[in-house]
Chain A
Amino acid sequence: MEKDIILKVENLNVDFGEERVIEDLSFDLKEKELLVILGPNGAGKSTLLKTLLGLIPYQGQIQWKDSVHIGYVPNEFVIPENLPLNLKEFFQFKKDYPEKIFQALELVGIKASEKNLEKKLYTFSSGQLRRTLIAWAMSDEPDIIFLDEPMLFIDIHGRETIYDSLVKVWEEKNQSIILVSHEIGEVCKKADKILALNKRKLFYGPPEEVITPQNLAKIYGSSISL
């Protein structure tokens, strides 16, 4: 594996029963790179992330650089109803609390005040929860962060805050990012590479090559204006 490559995927296949959900996929990710994975619903984007994380069995090769530390923001999570878990206790699940926590919270637009730290998570809006999980994933400074549709249920202002903070993290720190998204927005333009997926690799390359009206029509099955 080349020196600056953090992840190398070769001939990856994933099956759910008899159905093949990812087919013969190959790509790599270099250190500090931002990779955005695009594709319609059911394209295998979340499955790909989970496979890379070692959560789903696969055939093919997934090679990680030695001792890579991973942060993950899942697509689905549930705060059990009325569970009196507050923000401070949630971050205490991470071993290095509180050194980097306040910085991570501020980065996603949550003020790390005593009052906020004592708020119960189940009282948070979906957007606040998602931002909290992003801060949680970033807080122990992983080498790479996986974000599975982090903008789900977040309002336009919130999206801007998170996109800005993600780009800030990515530019300031030596972290690679793999972002699964439906959106063809600012983050896509900042990305080093775009992987367009629909069970198999449709397009893979720099955004200016992948994000074209013709390609998007092929990815999403209809014409999309930029």
Chain B
Amino acid sequence: MDLQFLYSLIVGVFVGGVAGYLGSLMITKRMALVGDALGHAALPGIALALIYGFNPSWGAIPALFFGILVIWFFEIHTKLPMEALTGIVFTASVAIAFLFLPENEVSNALIGDISKINLFDTVISVILSLIVFLILKKIFSNMILASISEDLARVEHINTKKQNFIYLVCIAIVVALGIKVTGSLLMGALVITPAAAARNMASNLFQYSFGSLIIGAISCVLGILFFKVFSLSAGPFVILSASLIFLISLFFKKR
């Protein structure tokens, strides 16, 4: 097995896993499409990274944080709904990115390219995925309680504002990491689809959250294996694998 392929698989397992786990929270909080929107908001950073030849994820992180700050700032000053502001920011980001994104890099930006990953990228991706997973695991039950009743969570001494901020930062990091695997166009699906499949089959919260993690990881491994066999981009294969698992999950749907 060549080293490049091994790196891809390792990154796929960790990033796919943490994206699935995060997705189980995002669906519960009715934020399924936020991952998609943020994937697009990262495009200017991805474009710069592709022009200057470094990992698109490292370009995506500052672009995402800037996008989140702009949404947060406008939400406070305009009182417009967050989904409207997210829509404005992500479409503006796409427009800006396409002003200077080289034509031959458009495909990489939109559907990712995991084939060029190196040891440094792999190590950083694994470490960040583990850190985000541990943070999400720590706040998971508090986030679920807050989604049932924010007041109840606050009475239980949960700092919901701080928790929501940490959660948003985790989303930004996972989206940035996932962009390398699926690209900005398909990133939302890496978060939503594994969690939706797990939700169909889970009998309890534990099965749901860890099922999402496992399906996310399996989807990435399958996608990367297909990419190796067919020599096409991994991103679409990853998402199609997740979609196939979702379709299968419908036959095991539990009430």
Chain A residues in the interface with B (C-beta under 8 A): 50, 53-55, 70, 72, 74, 76-80, 82-86, 88-89, 92-93, 118, 120, 123, 133
A118: B residues at CB distance < 8 A: 203-204
A77, B149: Cβ atoms under 8 Å? yes
> Which of A54, A77, A123 meets B255, CB within 8 Å?
A123
Residue of A nearest to B209 (CB): A84
Least Cβ distance of A74 to chain B in Å? 5
Question: With the chains together, A123 CA to B203 CA distance in Å?
Answer: 12
Q: B148 to A77, Cβ gap below 8 A? A: yes
- Alpha-carbon separation in the docked complex, A123 to B204 (Å): 13
Which residues of chain B have C-beta atoms less than 8 A from A74's C-beta?
A: 149, 151-152
Would you give the 0/1 interface string for B113-155, flagging 1 where the beta carbon is closer than 8 Å to chain A? Answer: 0000000000000000000000000000110110111011011
Please determine whether A85 and B151 come into contact, CB atoms closer than 8 angstroms. no
18 contacting pairs across A/B (C-beta < 8 A) = A50-B151, A53-B151, A72-B151, A72-B152, A74-B149, A74-B151, A77-B148, A77-B152, A78-B148, A80-B29, A84-B203, A85-B205, A89-B205, A89-B206, A92-B141, A118-B203, A118-B204, A133-B152
Residues of B within 8 A of A77 (CB): 148-149, 152
By Cβ-Cβ distance, the 5 closest A-B pairs, closest first, are: A77-B149, A84-B202, A72-B155, A89-B205, A84-B208
Compute how far the CA of A86 lies from the CA of B204 in the bound complex, rounded to whole angstroms.
6
Q: Complex Cα distance A89/B154, Å?
A: 19
* Contact, CB under 8 Å: B204 / A84: yes
Q: Secondary structure of the A side of the interface? A: loop
Q: With a CB–CB cut-off of 8 A, which chain B residues contact A123?
A: 255
Closest to B208 in A: A84
Partner of A89 from the list B29, B152, B204 (CB cut-off 8 Å) is B204
Complex Cα–Cα for A214 and B154 (A): 39
B91 in contact (CB, < 8 A): no
Q: Which of B144, B151, B199 has the most CB of A within 10 A?
A: B151
Task: Report Cα–Cα, A213/B3, bound state, in Å.
Answer: 85
Interface pair A55/B155, CB less than 8 Å apart: yes
Task: Check A78/B208 contact, CB under 8 A, given A55-B155, A83-B28.
Answer: no
* B30 adjacent to chain A (CB < 8 Å): yes
- The answer for the CA separation of A86 and B155 in the assembled complex, in Å, is 22
CB proximity of A72 to chain B, nearest CB, Å: 4
The CB with the most chain A CB atoms within 10 A, among B141, B204, B205, B207, is that of B205
Cα(A82)–Cα(B202), bound, Å = 10
Q: Contacts A70-B155, A74-B149, A74-B151 known; A85 to B144 CB distance under 8 Å? A: yes
Across the interface, do B152 and A82 meet the contact criterion of CB distance under 8 Å?
A: no
> Hey, which chain B residues are within 8 Å of A133, CB to CB?
152
Are A84's CB and B152's CB within 8 A?
Answer: no
Q: Is A79 within 8 A of B155, CB to CB?
A: no
Which residues of chain A come closer than 8 Å to B141, judged between CB atoms?
Answer: 92-93
Query: What's the Cα separation between A83 and B255 when bound, in Å?
Result: 10
Q: Give, as a whole number of angstroms, the nearest-CB distance from B142 to chain A.
A: 8
Residues A84 and B144 in contact, CB atoms below 8 Å apart? no
Q: A55-B154, A89-B204, A93-B141 are in contact. Are A82 and B199 (CB under 8 A)?
A: yes
Q: Could you tell me the distance in whole angstroms from the C-beta of B240 to the nearest C-beta in chain A? A: 24
A133 CA to B148 CA in the complex, in Å?
11
Q: How far is the CA of A153 from the CA of B73 in the complex (A)?
A: 40
Given A78-B148, A88-B204, output 7 extra A-B contacts at Cβ < 8 Å.
A50-B151, A72-B151, A82-B199, A83-B208, A86-B203, A89-B205, A93-B141
Within 8 A of A (CB), among B220-255: 254-255
Provide the residues of chain B in CB contact with A88, threshold 8 Å: 204
